[in-house]
Chain A
Amino acid sequence: MKRYAEAVLSVLIPVVISGCLDEHVKTTVSADGSSERTISIKTSAKSLPNGAFPVAIDSTWTVDWKETGEKDTKYEYTARKKFQTPDELSREYAALGDTGVIGLRVSLEKRFEWFYTYLDYREVYTMRNPFTNVPVTDYLTKDEIARYVRGDKSDSLDKKVKLWDSRNDFEELFRPILAEAEHRNDPALPASLLKDKKEDLFGRVIEADSLNKKADEHHADAKKKETSSVEGTVRFFIKMFKEVLGTTHVSGYDTVFMQSWDAMDRKKKPHPDSWSSSVQMPGLLTETNSNVVEGNTITWKFGANQIHVGLYEMHATSRVTNVWAFVVTGIAGLLLVLLAILAAFRRRHGRAISSSPVRRGL
């Protein structure tokens, strides 16, 4: 059992490959609605994983590579671009399309409200899960999803997310095998048997995974390496099939399993491990959903695991004072006072004329 457990760990790997990369984004918003966005990523090689970053880098961006002098991350990639209007920034990210691993929407809205102009900044990250057989809502409530996305790292939530991930992985492997069984229509291993025993199989995988983790905590990395091969995992699954299904007619299923494994592997794409996004807003910051605020700079930090479960939304609102609006309103008020004085004067003058002896005809 221990051996199975060690092997199964390599099956239930994270559904997405993280390159242990951090993406730092800094957006500086000006009072006139223009903005400058700087994206920096530290990497070990002087190249970015293809399609890993939702950055519409074209000739309009100023790209720069520099050496950091650090051991693990030798290079720092920086891309910078200025956007003259709020719409320009929104359009840049709206044009990204839905093909990348990471979905990103950025919007900046300017609301004129006479005395103040309000600037609403919104940025939404999401990771497009390549394995969508089981929706996350089967395992987490909406409230739990929201909590997890906002960074709640409680064990119970973490377990539920991992279970959902495991379930999705399991479905990716199980469904082709079920399809193969239906195709073969072999009475020794009928599809109906697989369907009946599906939950038992999944239970065994989870049990093995749990045991494996415990073992992993007490053993060095060498042990892990020894058992993390694909072949080991295939052997585990085949043996588990035999035990749970009570049949030895599983020949050829190892090939199906390998193909499913490869298909799963192809779906996984590299992406940053974590993000740090800072926005510097003009004027007075009135609203944000971040808990890290320094002056007018708001920072959000989140990991791939969070956006893997749901949308990570960042927003901030600030207001910029329109001094001229105060001046115009003041002048209008003053004018009103002057008019009132003038009207009073005219009334008094009128009375004086009408009550004069000449006006009375004497």
Chain B
Amino acid sequence: MKECQKIEPLLYLYRDGELSARERSMVLEHTRTCPRCHEILNQLLSMDAALAPLRESVPEFSEDAVLVDETMDRIAGASVKAVEREQTVSLMDEILRWLRPALSFAVLATTSLLVIQQSRDATKLADLENRLRTHGDAAVSAELFTNSEARRLFDIASREQKKETSPFSSLRSATVAGDPMNLIGSGILGLFQHNSGLFEEFARRYPDLSKITLENGIDENEKKILATEGKAFMKEFEQLLREGEK
């Protein structure tokens, strides 16, 4: 069997006449004793004998010249396309090699920028909100009215009260007494009538005060408003008049 494995490849070469004399004698001697290898060799030789006439005949291409040309053209075209495709692929590889890192860098940079901007602005906003929450109300009192507005307010208040003395003293007593109605009843309505802008400004800041109707007396709800917004209003009004008096 080992001999067969060694001889079998030589059988094809024997048929093709490519063995040395020593190898030929080895093959012949083995096929004489081995029926399997002998059979293979016989089949190869008979197949070769059957194909011999076909090998010798030359095909006539003249009648199929067009077909041959077309086929050749197609083969050539396919080759060109294959080359082009290969070139395109290599160009795309080249682009991808640069585009991917460039895009990665751009996206990373812009994302980082966004994070930095958001955190920076959030800090600033928090500071601003915090400052407005802590100082905003006080600042509004100080900055809502200008000095001359406060002076004008003081003048109007003086005229309304028709007194030679400072209106501040009576206003202060009204505040101390804790009843803003003293002031409202003693001229503040007239004050607002003479200065519509002033009323609008106060009404915007103390919206609940406008709910109070003096004509029908004061109910419980109105008392509550006076006790809260009324007091805050009085405090600011007093401060403004103090500024005006200065």
Contact = CB atoms under 8 A, between A and B. Distances in A.
Interface of A: 18, 20-22, 71-72, 113-116, 151, 153, 220, 273-276, 284-288, 290-293, 299-305, 317, 319, 325, 329, 332-333, 335-336, 339-340, 342-343
Given A20-B151, A22-B146, A114-B113, A332 B136 contact: no
Size class of the contact patch on chain B: 35 or more
12 contacts: A22-B148, A72-B152, A273-B146, A274-B146, A276-B146, A288-B128, A291-B132, A291-B139, A332-B103, A332-B107, A336-B100, A339-B96
Nearest to B151: A20
Main secondary structure of the interface of B (DSSP, over half): helix
Nearest to A304: B147
Contacts of A302: 143
Given A288-B128, A300-B143, 11 more contacts: A18-B148, A115-B117, A284-B121, A287-B124, A292-B143, A293-B136, A317-B124, A319-B121, A332-B106, A335-B103, A343-B96
A286 B113 contact: no
Given A329-B107, A333-B107, A291 B144 contact: no
B178 to A, nearest CB: 26
Given A288-B128, A332-B103, A336-B104, A273 B110 contact: no
A270 to B, nearest CB: 13
A258 B218 CA distance: 62
B95 to A, nearest CB: 10
Contacts of A305: 147
A189 B68 CA distance: 135
A213 to B, nearest CB: 11
Contacts of A301: 143-146
Nearest to B136: A291
Contacts of A113: 113, 117
Given A115-B113, A151-B142, A273 B148 contact: yes
B91 interface: no
B151 to A, nearest CB: 7
A291 to B, nearest CB: 3
Given A286-B125, A291-B132, A115 B114 contact: yes
Interface in B75-100: 96, 99-100
A48 to B, nearest CB: 16
Interface string B159-181: 00000100000000000000000
A339 B99 contact: yes
Q: Which of B106, B125, B132, B143 has the largest count of A CB atoms less than 10 A from its CB?
A: B143
B135 interface: yes
B149 interface: yes
A291 B144 CA distance: 10
Given A291-B140, A292-B139, A303 B124 contact: no
B75 to A, nearest CB: 18
Nearest to B99: A339
A293 B132 CA distance: 8
B100 A339 contact: yes
Contacts of A284: 121, 125
Interface string B59-79: 000000000000000000000
B131 interface: yes
B104 A291 contact: no
A44 to B, nearest CB: 12
A275 to B, nearest CB: 7
Contacts of A300: 143
Contacts of A287: 124, 128
A293 B149 CA distance: 20
A282 to B, nearest CB: 15
A25 to B, nearest CB: 12
B210 to A, nearest CB: 19
A331 to B, nearest CB: 10
Nearest to A317: B124
Contacts of B151: 20
A303 B194 CA distance: 24
A292 B103 contact: no
